[in-house]
Amino acid sequence: MKKSETSNRSLQSNWQLRDSPTYGKIVITIGQMIMENSENLGVDIRKLQKTEEAEKCARLMAGSEPWITLRRTYDNSLKMLRDPSREVYLAVVNDEIVGFIVLIMSGALVGYIQTVAVMPEWRDKGIGSRLLEFAEDKIFAKAPNVFLCVSSFNKKAQGLYQRLGYEVIGELKDYIVPGHSEILLRKSVAPLTEFKRMS
Ligand SMILES: CC(C)(COP(=O)(O)OP(=O)(O)OC[C@H]1O[C@@H](n2cnc3c(N)ncnc32)[C@H](O)[C@@H]1OP(=O)(O)O)[C@@H](O)C(=O)NCCC(=O)NCCS
């Protein structure tokens, strides 16, 4: 999502069009809903530094879908988050960790977003989009593709990636657990031979 689109969300009001016997169609306000966006929330994105930060992220993974179905435990989540080959960035609001994203900048598919997660109570406020936008900026400074995988049952995340312009490359059947696929997605700005690194 572009920043301007994210900002517009805060202007949305909560109203409905109803039929009135006296006045015909009328607009009624059904409540004041504050559509805060990630910029209004004062979200900072910074590198994961401390063990307790990694532990909090690992608890989020171990307690949430899709990782429950994918059988990712607290211990292997923590191991992944502390692996020096990963870059882990936190979304922070007033010193509280509200989400995180994990990048891998080496290997066969550079740059790969391994994981993105937002705390349940902080979802649908633009923080996931903001983390993805941050990761894309980092990756596109060095490589022309962003790759990621999404589970076949994770419809919400699939919708988000589609909206952000990711294309389906292929399906990895029974890749992590039997009965579910991982869908490989890609967003690209140039062929490898025409891409110029910014750093
Ligand atoms: C997937 C996930 C990271 C998305 O994070 P998020 O912070 O909820 O993402 P966003 O808020 O940017 O977008 C989510 C929805 O909120 C909407 N939204 C964004 N800003 C908004 C705002 N200010 N007000 C209301 N809605 C908003 C978006 O349009 C989007 O709608 P959609 O679901 O119809 O596409 C989060 O749901 C999550 O952690 N899920 C569990 C883990 C997971 O599935 N990770 C992905 C693994 S591949």
Q: What's the confidence (pLDDT) of residue 22?
A: 58
Report, as an integer, the average pLDDT of 24-32.
49
- Sorted by where each starts, the structural domains of the chain and their CATH numbers stand as 1-35 (no CATH), 37-194 (3.40.630.30)
What is the 3-state secondary structure of 87-147?
Answer: EEEEEEECCEEEEEEEEECCCCCCCEEEEEEECHHHCCCCHHHHHHHHHHHHHHCCCCEEE
pLDDT at 30: 47
Ligand 1 centroid, distance to 19 Cα (angstroms): 33
Q: Please give the distance, rounded to the nearest whole angstrom, from the Cα atom of residue 86 to the centre of ligand 1.
A: 23
Question: Does 7 have pLDDT greater than 50?
Answer: no
pLDDT of residue 8: 37
23 CA distance to ligand 1 centroid (A)? 39
Give 35's pLDDT tier (boundaries 50, 70, 90).
low
* Residue 57, phi then psi, degrees to nearest 5: -65, -40
Q: What is the pLDDT of residue 172?
A: 98
Q: What's the whole-model pTM score?
A: 0.84
166, pLDDT greater than 70: yes
Pairing of strands 145-151, 167-172: unpaired
Structural contact between residues 128 and 118, judged by C-beta atoms closer than 8 angstroms:
yes
Q: Could you tell me how far CA 7 lies from the centroid of its own chain?
A: 17
Atom of ligand 1 nearest to the CA of 115: 47
Ligand 1 neighbours by CB, cut-off 6 Å: 6, 9, 35-37, 64, 66, 116-118, 123-129, 150, 154, 156-157, 159-160, 163
Which residue puts its alpha carbon closest to atom 41 of ligand 1?
117
Q: pLDDT tens digits, residue range 77-94?
A: 999 999 999 999 999 999
| Residue carrying structure tokens 């979304």 | 91
